[in-house]
């Protein structure tokens, strides 16, 4: 088969979990399924390899790709798994030297030129949202056409990385629905799950793209907040329901960013009697009584909040545009309407002090969100936190496939990473080894017969006690 006849594209979701551990969750690679749908709409033959769901090794992925003999292989790149993706790309290149490799994803958007420079086995990078640009790239490769006009393209010329035109952000109304059928095996084998949910498989849905906010720890490459209509969202949910799935997470960065639209979606879900349970994400500043009430009526049982800190000074430093009182109100409202509140907290942001850490711990103890995710700051590239730390000399390490550890931010009172890790572990013990949380988790496990949650809780508690 010559190149002009080869319209096979392989999209790979890398394995991001440890094979011997129970993962907190495993979701469909929806970003790849959107790209696959766009490629199929343009007569390309697409195979999606969800190595994360299948727990495939690099060698297994490479063998699978070799059997397909594709024109192009696309791989998702996240900052946390640079080494894994570098090794995966190397395996594919070794096994299928004639294939062209392209990277996309958050890390490529944050540091585009650096991404291609660090991945010698990769031919191209794509920034922005690639539903149109990936199709353009594939069509150019079919005829050996010039790549200079592909939006968001990165490629090499004379030993240098060349950046093409501005990246593309297509209107959501013009994007085909994700090609879930390409990972139907994973749905059938119930690989997609969340430990908070007994029912399997679960599914995910995006109703918007972008975020209008600029938190200091988050890299936001989609500056424009765009959203789908309520009718369009409910129509896709109806299709999910018809496939027998009863639990869905709405994975938007800011689902409730337009509160009126979120309420409209909830009202239509109730009117259609979809009988689906939902998990959503919300900012605390838009989560009011009306939204909470409508969410519960529609079947929402868990709301994830990025509360981040119990210190107002630290919330301001992070540019959250929220208050400690808003965090408390979110906990109160979810309790009132019998929903779970999942809270995320950051330790070690520039400016953090032992006193501000104590404020966060005291807030958690007082307001008791249902679940608590405490983590040491990861200064992701191109974020305000990264820039502040780098400018002040507090950044330790950097984002590179050869790095032994992830970057972190040195603080006056935490000159060693172990200080922050030990502190975070200590905080978790102070939160979870209390009668309230032991009782709450035990009740949830027994009430729902959720033995996966029991195994996961035991796994994490064991790691905590052993200091891992």
| Percent of the chain residues past pLDDT 70, beyond the cut | 97
* Same domain for 446 and 428: no
Find out whether 15 and 156 touch, Cβ atoms under 8 Å.
Answer: no
Cα–Cα distance for residue pair 77/130, rounded to 1 Å: 14
* Token pair for 386: 């990264």
Q: Helices marked H in 273-416 — which ranges?
A: 289-298, 312-317, 324-336, 354-367, 384-392
Q: Is residue 357 part of a domain?
A: yes
More confident residue, 85 or 465: 85
* Same domain for 454 and 332: no
Domain that holds residue 64: 3-163
Contacts of 425 (CB under 8 A, 6+ apart): 464, 467
Cα–Cα distance for residue pair 257/287, rounded to 1 Å: 10
Handedness of CA 118, 124, 128, 131 (dihedral sign): negative
* Token pair for 388: 């502040």
Write down the pTM of the prediction.
0.94
Is residue 16's pLDDT more than 80?
A: no
* pLDDT on residue 446: 82
Q: What is the pLDDT of residues 311-332, one digit of tens each?
A: 999 999 999 999 999 999 999 9
Total domains in the chain come to 3
* Same domain for 119 and 219: no
Is residue 17's pLDDT more than 80?
A: no
* Same domain for 40 and 16: yes
Q: What is the pLDDT of residues 376-427, one digit of tens each?
A: 999 999 999 999 999 999 999 999 999 989 999 999 999 999 999 999 999 9
Measure the CA angle with vertex 208, ends 106 and 266; round to 5°.
Answer: 140
Q: Is residue 325 part of a domain?
A: yes
* Same domain for 450 and 415: no
Cα–Cα distance for residue pair 211/286, rounded to 1 Å: 14
* Same domain for 128 and 232: no
Cα–Cα distance for residue pair 456/238, rounded to 1 Å: 31
Find out whether 209 and 228 touch, Cβ atoms under 8 Å.
Answer: no
Q: Which residues pair with 277 in a beta bridge?
A: 247
* Same domain for 323 and 211: yes
* pLDDT on residue 3: 59
Burial 397-418 (b: 16+ CB within 10 A, else e): eebebeeeebbbbbbeebeebe
Find out whether 280 and 337 touch, Cβ atoms under 8 Å.
Answer: no
* pLDDT on residue 372: 96
Confidence of residue 442 (pLDDT cuts 50, 70, 90): confident
């Amino acid at each position: 088969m010559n190149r002009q006849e080869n319209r096979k594209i392989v999209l790979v979701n890398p394995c991001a979990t440890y094979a011997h551990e129970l993962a907190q969750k495993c979701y469909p690679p929806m970003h790849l399924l959107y790209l696959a749908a766009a490629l199929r709409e343009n007569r390309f033959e697409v195979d999606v390899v969800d190595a994360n769901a299948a727990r495939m090794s690099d060698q297994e992925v490479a063998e699978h790709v070799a059997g397909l003999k594709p024109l192009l292989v696309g791989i998702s790149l996240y900052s946390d798994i640079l080494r894994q993706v570098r090794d995966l790309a190397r395996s594919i290149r070794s096994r299928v030297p004639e294939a062209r490799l392209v990277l996309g994803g958050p890390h490529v958007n944050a540091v585009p030129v650096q991404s291609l420079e660090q991945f010698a086995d990769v031919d191209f990078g794509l920034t922005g949202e690639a539903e149109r640009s990936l199709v353009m790239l594939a069509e150019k490769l079919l005829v050996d056409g010039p790549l200079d006009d592909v939006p968001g393209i990165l490629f090499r010329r004379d030993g240098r990385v060349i950046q093409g035109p501005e990246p593309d952000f297509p209107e959501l109304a013009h994007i085909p629905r994700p090609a879930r059928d390409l990972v139907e095996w994973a749905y059938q084998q119930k690989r997609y799950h969340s430990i908070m949910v007994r029912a399997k498989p679960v599914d995910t849905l995006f109703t918007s793209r972008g975020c209008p906010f600029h938190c200091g720890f988050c890299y936001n490459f989609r500056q424009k907040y765009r959203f789908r209509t309520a009718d369009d969202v409910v129509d896709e949910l109806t299709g999910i329901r018809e496939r027998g799935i009863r639990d869905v997470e709405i994975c938007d960065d800011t689902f409730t960013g337009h509160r009126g639209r979120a309420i409209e979606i909830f009202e239509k879900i109730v009117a259609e009697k979809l009988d689906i349970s939902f998990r959503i994400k919300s900012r605390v500043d838009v989560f009011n009584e009306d939204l909470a009430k409508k969410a519960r009526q529609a079947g929402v049982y868990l709301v994830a909040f990025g509360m981040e800190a119990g210190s107002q000074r630290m919330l301001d430093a992070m540019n959250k545009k929220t208050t400690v009182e808003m965090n408390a109100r979110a906990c109160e409202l979810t309790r009132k309407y019998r929903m779970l509140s999942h809270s995320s907290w950051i330790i070690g942001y520039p400016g953090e002090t032992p006193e501000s850490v104590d404020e966060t711990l005291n807030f958690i103890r007082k307001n008791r969100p249902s679940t608590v995710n405490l983590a040491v700051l990861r200064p992701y590239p191109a974020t305000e936190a990264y820039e502040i730390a780098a400018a002040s000399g507090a950044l330790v390490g950097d984002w590179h496939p050869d790095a032994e550890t992830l970057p972190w931010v040195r603080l006056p009172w935490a000159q060693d990473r172990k200080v922050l890790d030990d502190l975070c572990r200590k905080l978790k013990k102070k939160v979870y080894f209390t009668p309230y949380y032991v009782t709450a988790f035990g009740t949830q496990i027994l009430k729902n017969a959720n033995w996966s949650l029991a195994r996961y809780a035991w796994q994490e508690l064991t790691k905590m006690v052993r200091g891992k």
